[in-house]
Amino acid sequence: MKCSATALAGVFLLEPQVFEDERGFFYESYNARRFRDAIGIEPDFVQDNHSRSQRGVVRGLHYQVGVAQGKLVRVIAGSVYDVVVDLRRSSPTFGQWTGAELSSENRRQLWVPPGLAHGFVTLSEQAECLYKTAGYWSPEHERTLLWNDPALGIDWPLPCTPILSLKDQAGTPLCDAEVFA
């Protein structure tokens, strides 16, 4: 597995070793030992989530306070532009973001540690995302950061007019958001 650090501390882009031939392909999408060796931690993954979205859907930017979640995100069909925002006030990159294209073709995964908001926009006709979470979903602790907050300056590669849930439309700007110490 190739592991690349991003501009945000603790956020890593992972690329598996893929074995491909005329029959198809095979790769390990997760191996606890390799993950630990690559990024230095071994999260306790407790939940797997699966979403399907159509072109232009923006999901996020989501995070949880009190019971923060780490997420290992990958795409098994189509492509998305995945974004994370650092909400750790003590971090030198507080309020900054990074993004990467994740697709079924490039097979990349993104590790999003606790303390960051996460979201994506669907670039293909449809995309299916799978993500493992270190921490259970807790609706009462969930928060939404405003996806297009000018203070964040996220350069979303929108393929069309964005499609958002009411919750995501009503996200909180960074200046008013609950953040981490």
- Residues forming the active site: 62, 131
Query: Could you tell me the end-to-end alpha-carbon distance of the chain, in angstroms, rounded to an integer?
Result: 32
25 bridge partner residues: 20
Q: How far apart are CA 181 and CA 179, in angstroms?
A: 7
The answer to whether 79 touches 125, Cβ cutoff 8 Å, is no
Q: Which tokens sit at 165?
A: 């849930």
Q: Which tokens sit at 98?
A: 């990074």
Sequence-ordered list of residues with C-beta below 8 angstroms from that of 24, at least 6 positions apart, any chain: none
